A and B are shown apart, each in its own frame.
Chain A
Amino acid sequence: MVSVAATAPAHGAPRAGEPLLEVRGLTVSIGRGPDALTAVRGIDLTLQRGESLGLVGESGAGKSLSMLSVTSLLPRGARVGGSVRLEGRELIGLRSRELRRVRGAEIGMVFQDPMTSLNPVFTIGRQVEEAIRIHQPGLSRSEVAKAAVALLAAVAIPAPRERLHSYPFELSGGMRQRVMIAIAIANNPKLLIADEPTTALDVTIQAQILDLLRRLAAEREMALVLITHDLGVIAGMVDRVAVMYAGRVVEERTTAELFASPRHPYTKALLSCIPRADRPDARVLGIPGSPATLRPPPPGCAFAPRCPDAVDACHEVDPALEGEPGARIACLVASGRVAATRPGEPGPR
């Protein structure tokens, strides 16, 4: 089931040209016994320094779970398989003390709901300062306070010095998300993972937060993984996009190519679902059938039951993600490995 597209090179000490993040054959299973569900079913991803990657898909595609496993923030009872390497260092199986050094210092995370991510009973200042102090224990009190003000200023919070004394409930959703971003970048991480960072926000505030993330990633040379269900948000934000369906990456392309010429039938179908302000005459098509169930996992391609192009083989063989980075696709028909159904011939169900 775990499909490794290319043989992973052996990893030693960090060396030049090595990717920042390398995910190989990642699986995440939840529950045990007959209730067990493998929600992430073998994904491979590579991210270079300073690069930005979008993870897009619908609920249950496994996009959040796969990134939570990178920082070992999975819910209790979840089991992880495969490999996640940050600058060559394996993160899976790392002990919690070592992990804490990576989380926050090398990887920052921003979540959808800033209200539940911030502690309601502590001031903003205390929470930002805590993030600084944990990873830079040598700083004096005044140095930490100064750094906190600088961080709030960096995320464009007005009157940062006064805001240190505010509590989360005194801030708007947009301002709280800025605080979360300040905490995430407090130690200049090399990688920022933003999981639906603007989903809870209004559209004009979303534009502000996306602007901020774009600017910070460029200024601080951070790599960015942006998880979202919104293809519009993805289009303006990242270099490369991985489309996920039922726990697998089905297509991974450069952003320009993905939108100009989507190849996987699911990507095409997903793009046909959104009404477009820029193309008022385009019809919204939708996707026939219902989302894939992973209990039990489908024998073939998970999208085959809903796919207009599916042939017999699609229901039997789960296609691996093949191709060069930035031009990979997991589809027997689109990659030309089996012949498509000829027009007129009834497609198998």
Chain B
Amino acid sequence: MTAFETPAVPALVPDPRSPGAAPSPAAGRERPSGGTPLLSVRHLVKEFTLRSHAGELRKRVLRAVDDVSFDLGAGEVLGLVGESGCGKSTTGRCLLRLVEPTSGEVRYKGEDLLAKGRTEMRRLRRELQIVFQDPYSSLHPRRRIRDIIAEPMIVQGTEPRRALAAVPELMRTVQLDPRRAGAYPHEFSGGQRQRIGIARALSVRPEVIVLDEPLSALDVSVQADIINLLQRLQQEMGLAFLFISHNLSVVQYLADEVGVMYLGQIVEIGPAREVLAAPAHPYTQALMSAAPVPDPEAERRKERIVLRGEVPSALDPPSGCRFHPRCWMAQEICRTETPRLVERGNGHPVACHFAGGA
């Protein structure tokens, strides 16, 4: 069995593979919200050291997030899409330091989150919250709903009596019946539990919420309810979301900007409409083509890109462009040279030597 352990590498050691001279892809672009971004991530790296098996000479290092940079503006929704193991969830967790990044920079309102001590980080988590994928395992089974929702407020120093008094209003906000505040998680359906998780995140009035696959465990009609709830909350409260999902249609529906990840790296990032309507990276094109559309006519006409093979191991990523072994456009240069994530005439940054028809 593979066990992860946090490497002894201190935070903020500059990544030797991403020289400071490299221009930050997301920097310098005009933001819909204007001004400086709320959250700014630069050259984020997370390595996991895999405990060596018997007979193995060296510890193996898995780079789950490899030089990821992006900005999130106030009131903006950034979607992170990609398949299992691409590092999208780890990226989300690094922002809140639920897993400790190996290197890189995460700035929130200009403050460097990775330099904060425990107490300060706890204070900042009032503004940065997270909602998890599995509404079954992310709620304590032996605590009442009111205590679950009130907990972040109490942790942040609100007097328990006042925190509990705020619960009914929070439950109404996520369309739960406040009379059920005394019930336990198992008495609720999956969709209702996800609402409880959202109410808990909202309780401290955060500015940023990381939503880690919040819909994947839910039925189609329940997904629709949660999508609408999230959209309403985001607009009414001016929240910024980092929306992590493998479902491109959902991301297209909710996100202003989208970043596509493959093997720990962002391969394409830009306005959601642009990236998903006219994908420039071959991997984004393949993802869009593979996403089934509920229209038999379109499914029949669609030019299907069926990728060969599977995602290679992040323990031993391919040389050059990491997508080249599966790419139908790959040339010699793709094997030898890593394409940088830069604007190549598509209106947004793309990490492909041949994007933009070059």
Contact = CB atoms under 8 A, between A and B. Distances in A.
Please determine whether chains A and B interact with each other in the same assembly: yes
Interface of A: 58-59, 172, 174-175, 202-208, 210-211, 229-236, 255-256, 259-260, 269-278, 280, 284-287, 290-291
A114 to B, nearest CB: 14
B84 A202 contact: yes
Nearest to A198: B292
B158 interface: no
Contacts of A278: 293, 295, 298
A274 B298 CA distance: 16
A78 B297 CA distance: 40
B306 A284 contact: no
Contacts of B189: 290-291
Nearest to A239: B296
Contacts of A284: 224, 227-228, 253
21 contacts: A58-B219, A203-B291, A204-B286, A204-B307, A205-B310, A207-B290, A207-B304, A210-B292, A229-B219, A229-B220, A231-B294, A255-B296, A260-B297, A271-B294, A273-B220, A276-B249, A277-B252, A277-B291, A278-B295, A284-B228, A286-B225
Contact of A203 (B221, B290, B300): B290
A235 B83 contact: no
B246 interface: yes
B286 A235 contact: no
Interface in B284-328: 286-300, 302, 304, 306-307, 310-311
Given A203-B83, A204-B83, A276-B293, 5 more contacts: A203-B248, A205-B83, A208-B307, A236-B292, A284-B253
A287 B250 CA distance: 17
A236 B219 contact: no
A253 to B, nearest CB: 11
Contacts of A274: 220, 224, 249, 294
B252 A280 contact: yes
A59 B293 contact: no
A255 B295 CA distance: 9
B292 A233 contact: yes
Contacts of B273: 280
A200 B310 CA distance: 15
A274 B296 CA distance: 15
B246 A202 contact: yes
Nearest to A266: B221
Nearest to A60: B219
B163 interface: no
Contacts of B299: 232, 235-236
Given A274-B224, A274-B249, A204 B296 contact: no
Interface of B: 83-84, 189, 219-221, 223-225, 227-228, 246, 248-250, 252-254, 273, 276-277, 286-300, 302, 304, 306-307, 310-311
B276 to A, nearest CB: 7
A169 B303 CA distance: 34
B290 A277 contact: no
A275 B290 CA distance: 16
A280 B277 contact: yes
Given A236-B296, A256-B297, A273 B223 contact: yes
B304 A211 contact: yes
Contacts of A233: 292
- With most chain A CB atoms within 10 A of its CB, the pick from B83, B246, B293, B294 is B294
Contact of A275 (B83, B219, B249, B288): B249
B270 to A, nearest CB: 15
A275 B215 CA distance: 12
B224 A287 contact: yes
Contact of B287 (A204, A231, A269, A276): A204
Given A277-B248, A277-B249, A286-B228, A235 B292 contact: yes
A277 B252 CA distance: 7
B294 A277 contact: no
Q: Name the residue among B220, B252, B297 with the largest chain A CB count within 10 angstroms.
A: B220
Contacts of A275: 227, 249-250, 252-254
Contact of A232 (B83, B291, B310, B311): B291
Nearest to B226: A286
Given A273-B220, A284-B224, A207 B306 contact: yes
B83 A174 contact: no
